[in-house]
Chain A
């Protein structure tokens, strides 16, 4: 039996915010995009090797968590706590809470690692005697995946259906689908969706072990591309059935699929990606030509970009404005879905297709043309792709509501 993917009733994005290497909040991100100012910086690792990371500034992340939330203290949760206050997001959720009741506002946070950095630090501190990690380890409130969602709900005072969604680099794209399903089933009236991940050492050295970490600023789609840069970000969106203002952004489609191919390598012909994209378009009731801009997953590894190119070429035939924003923010991992959703919202707000930053020499073997410079053009409908380890794919369609 195949899923129906029938056209869906849109959900409206009534508030959103992003904190990433492009700055604190939406205006900072848009100003960085307009100025062509990327967020990557060169960092020397403990092994002496160099890489580039998309770090969020410490002063943006904020102070250690205090009071009854102190047990949640870690870089990831501090970043969530400071980010959620920006762009009027927490206030918009408070309004939703007042409208629907705290137990009718759901919360779905996408992350790969939550506050893993806290546990990593305990292991490194105790090495080589890691049988005893010390008495101050707070696994349940930091590294545990659900702690990110629980912390956000405590901060926002919401109580509805909730889960941490953790499907690798598609995590915070999938949260939109989960929220849609819960609202459609009547389990809540609104949902906070979010994504969070930090530049954890386990992932930096892990990607290095797979030969996927670039020593250069990442160059998606470039002939010379040789891997990713890890980035960190916290992003949020509030989804409701009705828009609060004219010209609100709507989630009108999503598609989900599995490659069923390999744990860390994408399907060579981009089969899973194509299925997710087509499903998202079908749900949105759109044809490929309706899409003004595709925010590619575009991670910058040779095989990922080749696979995604095959999928995009199969669906769009090379006739759509595309770019990857990984060169601006780094690959924000479990937060990539929400990072690129918000960058897509900003693209619609500013009628701007962001450049594929750092890319100068597009791979002639790839059929999809990517924007090398910022392009001013009308952007009313966007497709945003997120693909992850385990072959987990998610594509989202957003539109400026009529």
Chain B
């Protein structure tokens, strides 16, 4: 695939409040400590929506807002790709619980948010973004799949693209059957040309199946392997270290015979 450029990047999760502060842990200069986590309140939501926004929506919107601060681009003007493996299982849980109650009282508010593109919808509404937006899932390979769709979009449209990937643990009833260890989100602007103050060139290729690149730190590795969005961590670590060592990602589905290899270099 043609070389593309990461114009700006952000991260959000326990112990990783933003790209600048996450750097020390990603470079291994400081031991990663997860701690309490609250993604905060998205500013682009109207006050009534803000009150009712679920954890998954807040996570996706906050990391996007952080990226908007960091990027030199107007994110609202960009087409977007929102990737999440499981989506918003809190909403699924609420709707399913209502199905078992007398009168089947499915809440219109929960139903509003049941679509996988709810976060993307709130982003486009709040930011007044009229570009095309794709929301997808590819199970454990969701991060690299979303990145590839974003890269294809950059090439097809010759425009920078907003890519957001997030994953929020499910409520207890579902978590038992689909465990996600902690919330995690990352967002980046992918550009067809060299752009931005901390710009990286990104080279993407398909290779025969390889083991996924892991994280040296045990706690970060637990996050990486227990959250589909946190599969991004090894790539983020390379960016933080300004290392051009290749990172390998399994592609979907589980039995696929190819991996995606990515290496980055400061541009």
Given contacts A4-B159, A123-B96, A163-B146, 10 further A-B contacts (CB under 8 A): A3-B132, A5-B157, A127-B100, A140-B178, A159-B255, A164-B137, A164-B138, A209-B111, A210-B111, A390-B115
Report the interface size class on chain B: 35 or more
Question: Measured between alpha carbons, how far is A112 from B245 in the docked complex, in Å?
Answer: 38
Known: A159-B257, A161-B251. A260 touches B138 (CB 8 A): no
| B139 CB within 8 Å of chain A | yes
In the complex, 14 of the A-B residue pairs with CB atoms within 8 angstroms, ordered by the A residue number, are A3-B158, A112-B114, A128-B100, A138-B177, A159-B258, A166-B117, A167-B115, A167-B116, A178-B134, A181-B155, A258-B130, A272-B130, A390-B120, A392-B121
- For chains A and B in complex, what number of residue pairs have CB atoms within 8 angstroms? 263
**A167, B117: Cβ atoms under 8 Å?**
yes
**B115, A184: Cβ atoms under 8 Å?**
no
**B257, A103: Cβ atoms under 8 Å?**
yes
| A308 CB within 8 Å of chain B | no
Known: A184-B152, A209-B108, A256-B79. A124 touches B253 (CB 8 A): no
Question: Measured between alpha carbons, how far is A167 from B137 in the docked complex, in Å?
Answer: 11
Residue of B nearest to A267 (CB): B130
Digitize B114-150: 1 where CB-to-A-CB distance is under 8 Å, 0 elsewhere: 1111101110110111111111111100100110110
In the complex, how many angstroms separate the beta carbon of A148 from the nearest chain B beta carbon?
10
Question: Measured between alpha carbons, how far is A168 from B124 in the docked complex, in Å?
Answer: 15
B130 / chain A contacts, CB cutoff of 8 Å: 257-260, 271-272, 275
A116 / chain B contacts, CB cutoff of 8 Å: 92
Digitize B146-170: 1 where CB-to-A-CB distance is under 8 Å, 0 elsewhere: 1011011101111110000000000
Question: Measured between alpha carbons, how far is A161 from B138 in the docked complex, in Å?
Answer: 10
**B256, A163: Cβ atoms under 8 Å?**
no
**B111, A206: Cβ atoms under 8 Å?**
yes
- Give the contacting residue for B159; candidates A2, A145, A162, A390; CB below 8 A: A2
Residue of A nearest to B2 (CB): A185
From 81 to 98 in chain B, residues with beta carbon under 8 angstroms from any chain A beta carbon are 85-87, 92-93, 95-98
**A139, B174: Cβ atoms under 8 Å?**
yes
B115 / chain A contacts, CB cutoff of 8 Å: 112, 166-168, 388-390
| A137 CB within 8 Å of chain B | yes
**A260, B145: Cβ atoms under 8 Å?**
no
**B99, A202: Cβ atoms under 8 Å?**
yes
Question: Measured between alpha carbons, how far is A299 from B112 in the docked complex, in Å?
Answer: 17
Digitize B58-102: 1 where CB-to-A-CB distance is under 8 Å, 0 elsewhere: 000000000000000000011100000111000011011111110
Question: Measured between alpha carbons, how far is A390 from B134 in the docked complex, in Å?
Answer: 11
- Give the contacting residue for B129; candidates A126, A139, A258, A263; CB below 8 A: A258
Question: Measured between alpha carbons, how far is A116 from B93 in the docked complex, in Å?
Answer: 11
Question: Measured between alpha carbons, how far is A174 from B120 in the docked complex, in Å?
Answer: 15
**A144, B178: Cβ atoms under 8 Å?**
yes
A70 / chain B contacts, CB cutoff of 8 Å: none
Known: A201-B104, A263-B122. A392 touches B117 (CB 8 A): yes
**A145, B137: Cβ atoms under 8 Å?**
yes
Question: Measured between alpha carbons, how far is A334 from B37 in the docked complex, in Å?
Answer: 34
**A257, B132: Cβ atoms under 8 Å?**
yes
- Give the contacting residue for A389; candidates B92, B112, B134, B149; CB below 8 A: B112
From 252 to 267 in chain B, residues with beta carbon under 8 angstroms from any chain A beta carbon are 252-258
**B172, A131: Cβ atoms under 8 Å?**
yes
A257 / chain B contacts, CB cutoff of 8 Å: 130-132
B112 / chain A contacts, CB cutoff of 8 Å: 210, 263-264, 389
Question: Measured between alpha carbons, how far is A272 from B206 in the docked complex, in Å?
Answer: 36
**B133, A167: Cβ atoms under 8 Å?**
yes
